[in-house]
Amino acid sequence: MVGGGQLARMTHEAGIPLGIRFKLLSDTPQDSAAQVVSDVVIGDYRDLDVLRAFAQGCDVVTFDHEHVPTEHLRALEADGVVIRPGVEALLHAQDKGVMRKRLSEAGVSCPRHRIVADPEDVARFAAEAGEGDGFPVVLKTVRGGYDGKGVWVVRGVEEAAEPFRAEVPVLAEEMVDFARELAANVVRSPHGQAVAYPVVESIQVDGVCDTVIAPAPGLSEELSATAQEMALKIAAELGVVGHLAVELFETRDGRLLVNELAMRPHNSGHWTQDGAVTSQFANHVRAVLDLPLGDPRPRAPWTVMTNVLGGDYPDMYGAYLHCMARDPALKIHMYGKDVKPGRKVGHVNTYGDDLADVRERGRHAADYLRGTITE
C-alpha cells in the first residue's frame, strides 16, 4: 500500500486475520501505518524509481491517498505491476475536472461546473446561472485538495484570485443549496462482483468530517436505493477495483448530486469497522486481491462514527479510563498521530437502537478524548 496514514493502518489491520503480507511505502517512520506494519519502505511516492523498487515482489499495489503522479502509475502498469483501483479509474479521483466531465457524459447528476481560466472567467461562469451576478460560487483546484483544502467559496470576482496562484487548472461549480451531505460506499472486485453499504449522512465542521450516521436518518428507501445504484454505476463505468466512496449532496428539492469521489477506504465508511458484518477495510483488501466480497449489512439499527480531532490533549490513559468505564460498548480507534489543532487523530464508533443516545455517547467520547470536556 502506498501511503502511511490511518487508512493504511486500518487496512493492514483488516488483512491480518487473512494472513496477508502487507508492505508499506511511507513518508516517515512516524506515520500512522509505519508504526504497526513490519515491512516498511521509507521513500517519496513522487519518485518513480522509489515506486518501482517498492513494487518489486508485490502481487498488488493499492493506495491510501490519490496523490501519486498519474504518469508514474502508468509507468508502473507498463512494467506489469498490478495497480488497483487501476490507473484510468484512479484518474477520476485525482482530477476533479476529468471526473466531472466523465460523470456528466455518463448521465450522472453533478453540480453545474466548468474549468475557468482566471477571475474574470469565474465572473462569467457565475453570471451564466441567470440570477443576479450568480455569486457565490465554489472554486476547486482540480488536483491535490482534501478536507476542505484546495476549495474556496467566493462571493465576488475580487475574492477569486487565490485559487489561480497554484498555477493548476481551477474548476468552478455552482454553490449547491443542499439539505445535507450523504455518502454511498460500494466495493467492486476485478471480475465485477460488487456490494453496497447503507447510505450515510456525513456532517462536516469547517470542511472536515465530524460525524457520520449510518444509515442516514429519514432517507427514503427510494432515494437510498438511487444513491446506491448511482455509486454502483459509477464503479462499473470507471472500472473501479476496491472501495469507492461517492460523496453526495441531497438538495432541498429531493435530488442527489455527486460532490466528490474517493477510490480507497474513506472517513464516511469508518463506522463499518464495528457497525457492519464486513468493514470497508476488509472488503477493500478482498477486492484488490479478487477474493469474494463480504456482507456489508449493518449489525445494529444505528451506528455513529465521531472523529476525534486534535485539541488540548488530556492524559490519554486517564481519558481511556473515563470513556471505557462510562460506555463499555464504546469502540475507540486512535491513529498514533502527532496532535495538531483540528487534525484527525482518531475516531469512536457507537451503536444501538436509539439514535439520540448513540449520537450523545459518540459526541461525549470524542470531546473527552480531545480534552474539550472533563466530565
Is there a binding annotation on residue 10? Answer: no
Q: How many residues does the chain have?
A: 375
Closest CA to 184 of 229, 217, 241, 237: 229
Is there a binding annotation on residue 175? Answer: yes
Is there a binding annotation on residue 140? Answer: yes
Is there a binding annotation on residue 340? Answer: no
Helix (H, G, I), strand (E, B) or coil at 351: strand
Spatial separation of the C-alpha atoms in residues 12 and 285, rounded to whole Å? 9
Q: Widest CA span of the chain, in angstroms?
A: 61
Spatial separation of the C-alpha atoms in residues 307 and 367, rounded to whole Å? 9
Task: Using CA atoms of 115, 117, 121, 125 in order, give the dihedral in degrees to the nearest 10.
Answer: 0
Q: Which amino acid is at 131?
A: E
User: In sequence order, what DSSP letters do the residues of 188-247 get, joined into one string?
Assistant: E-TTS-EEEPPPEEEEEETTEEEEEEESPTT--HHHHHHHHHHHHHHHHHHT--EEEEEE
List b or e across 53-77, with b for residues whose CB sees 16 or more CB atoms inside 10 angstroms: ebbeeeebbbbbbbebebebbeebe
Spatial separation of the C-alpha atoms in residues 308 and 312, rounded to whole Å? 12
Is there a binding annotation on residue 260? Answer: yes
Closest CA to 72 of 94, 40, 98: 94
Is there a binding annotation on residue 176? Answer: yes
Is there a binding annotation on residue 173? Answer: yes
Is there a binding annotation on residue 96? Answer: yes
DSSP state of 292: P
Is there a binding annotation on residue 337? Answer: no
Annotated binding site: 96, 140, 173-176, 181, 259-260
Annotated binding site for ATP: 96, 140, 173-176, 181, 259-260
